[in-house]
Structure 1
């Protein structure tokens, strides 16, 4: 009987030890985990940021696994002001159609992905910023002097990506006789532009400058300098998140200390892009 009792005690002790170790392990994982919305404000060890993976000069994941672009630099600066080193950032692809869902589900802490602030989007998420005022523009060949105003796009072959409203906006509002050409991606439009299959490519001037700043396109293209729309780029956060105010403070500091201007010049300057104004945080230009 004594042996039986000892065995039962030993089993019970072992079970208690396993439970204690499991609880300790779970506590350790919970303290260091992040990636969901709220982890940044809760002081997690990592922060998850949504960016574009396919826009040179804006947000690009390179073949060697690095991340480059203006949005990457802005997001890195903001994260550092929130207390996270560059190595603490987990980058997540934020395609245009997925951005609100990523924030609402808590898959990311914030998104910096050429994310224009609009009334419709502001009903679903909150925005810090804006940190950049972009405009719809055109990219043309550097030696093309036939397109000097938006109306010169009449009878020209105008390219944009499938599903984009940029080219349709030009045809509807500015140049009704433009010949629309829809390609699968901006790279295809650039190839067509370089080979004179098309005459102009249209989307945000920042996106155009990012592509044109790539080494293989050096001195081949130029921006038209047209301001066919105002696109206020903001940083998206979950509705009601306390991060909005903190990110605004970080952006104000980035502008004040010169880091913002340096990031713009580094990523978009090679294509001749110059911001027409320094952004005012909290002021939306209509």
Structure 2
């Protein structure tokens, strides 16, 4: 587990300081011992990947703070790993870059609406899942989509590298005109301006956008449950120790009521009907 501690340089400085104290005269051994040396190990830190542009899940606000269900889950897990909230560095993790960020060591783990798939598990490992979502469409309030067959006639937008985009192209609507961008915010602009007919991704993400004050009354979910998306916490490939520690934290989060609290806090205002906490399946 790559929880960062004091640097080698800091440790060396501390060792020299202790040596110097030990070699001093008896007069130096009074109240000026270890308690006044200012030494000791630095606080543990974690770098956690999240989304910066998903209201209700992972959002960086104008004042630089972070809000959302994934942020709350990440903060809870970090606390169980011994890292306080003030010692977390949140790093933006776009969908196409998540596997690369983990393999390069840019982050310790990722909590970013990261659906567990067999393809992804060839490159990274997961803990969890901690949430079950379903793929849907976000459409303009005066539009409607009544069936999967109708999607083939639409101009769609999704994020490159997402399971939603892949599912549309390969399974659900191969004849639809699908544009892929780096963020869902770009898709949302296209939906608002009429350039695209629908934004497709998980219903939890769509509910967060629809609930934003500036979009009140403009958009709605189509109400199509197109897939099951089990959100997991992405970790470096094969790190079973970290996987076990995070799974234990997730289990505690559900048992002590924190999971329900986080869901109500972040999704309750939108009226989103969420699924119960899923069973943890990623154990090896």
TM over 0.5: yes
1:98 corresponds in structure 2 to 97
Q: Distance in 2 between matches of 1:185 and 1:282?
A: 29
> Aligned residues, how many?
253
1:31 corresponds in structure 2 to 41
C-alpha contact (below 8 Å) 1:133/1:230 kept by paired residues: yes
1:84 corresponds in structure 2 to 83
TM alignment of 1:159-238, pairs within 5 A: 159-161=157-159, 166-167=164-165, 169-170=167-168, 173-175=171-173, 178-182=176-180, 185-238=183-236
1:11 corresponds in structure 2 to none
CA distances 1:56-87 after superposition (whole Å, capped 9, x unpaired): 22222222111112111100111122222211
RMSD (CA atoms): 3.1
C-alpha contact (below 8 Å) 1:223/1:271 kept by paired residues: no
CA 1:24–1:224 in 2, change beyond 3 Å: closer, same or farther? farther
Unaligned runs of 5+ in 1: 1-19, 33-43
CA 1:168–1:66 in 2, change beyond 3 Å: closer, same or farther? same
1:127 corresponds in structure 2 to 126
Q: Distance in 1 between matches of 2:14 and 2:210?
A: 54
TM-score where L is the length of structure 1? 0.75
SS in 1 for 2:243: helix
1:53 corresponds in structure 2 to 52
Q: Distance in 2 between matches of 1:108 and 1:30?
A: 25
Unaligned runs of 5+ in 2: 1-11, 20-37
Q: Distance in 1 between matches of 2:39 and 2:96?
A: 32
TM-score where L is the length of structure 2? 0.75
C-alpha contact (below 8 Å) 2:157/2:200 kept by paired residues: yes
Q: Distance in 1 between matches of 2:70 and 2:191?
A: 26
